[in-house]
Structure 1
Amino acid sequence: MTDPRKTQSAESGTVDPRLLEILVCPLTKTSLDYDAQRQELISRAAGLAFPIRDGIPVMLPEEARELDES
């Protein structure tokens, strides 16, 4: 049986706040900022934005988008 909270989270595109508390940038090991509008986790130290797909953070550097300088 699946956990209804996980299903709801994936369907709504939100990330479990408990997960956000423990995730860090895979490159710099620094904390991440959550951008709910763009569905990304931002690593200011690395200058990267990691995508969140179907409620799951994709923490692969090759999948990350470089942040704009501005």
Structure 2
Amino acid sequence: MPLEAGLLEILACPACHAPLKETSAKESSAEEQQPELLCTGKDCGLAYPVRDDIPVLLVDEARRPA
């Protein structure tokens, strides 16, 4: 289930405060098969997992996409 547009508009990367964009399970890596929120910041680019339709916006839980 995709995140509501209103929620996605107010979420920001906790590391750099840039907006986030949602990626589907198809776009994420084969290992992860779960949706993610990608930071749109030029120098950041962290990917935050979405588990059970809840964004996990913890820098320690984020991964740096390859």
For the criterion TM > 0.5, the same-fold answer is yes
Cα distance per residue 1:22-70 (max 9 Å; x no partner):
10101111111110224000014212100000000000000001111xx
Counting aligned pairs with the same residue, the percent is 41
Number of equivalenced pairs: 56
- Tell whether 2:42 aligns with 1:42: no
**Stretches of structure 2 lacking an aligned partner (at least 5 in a row):** 29-34
Q: TM-score when scaled to structure 2?
A: 0.74
Q: Report the RMSD for the aligned CA atoms in angstroms.
A: 1.3
Q: TM-score when scaled to structure 1?
A: 0.71
Runs of 4+ in 1 over 2 A off after TM superposition: none
Secondary structure of 2:18's counterpart equals coil
**Stretches of structure 1 lacking an aligned partner (at least 5 in a row):** 1-12
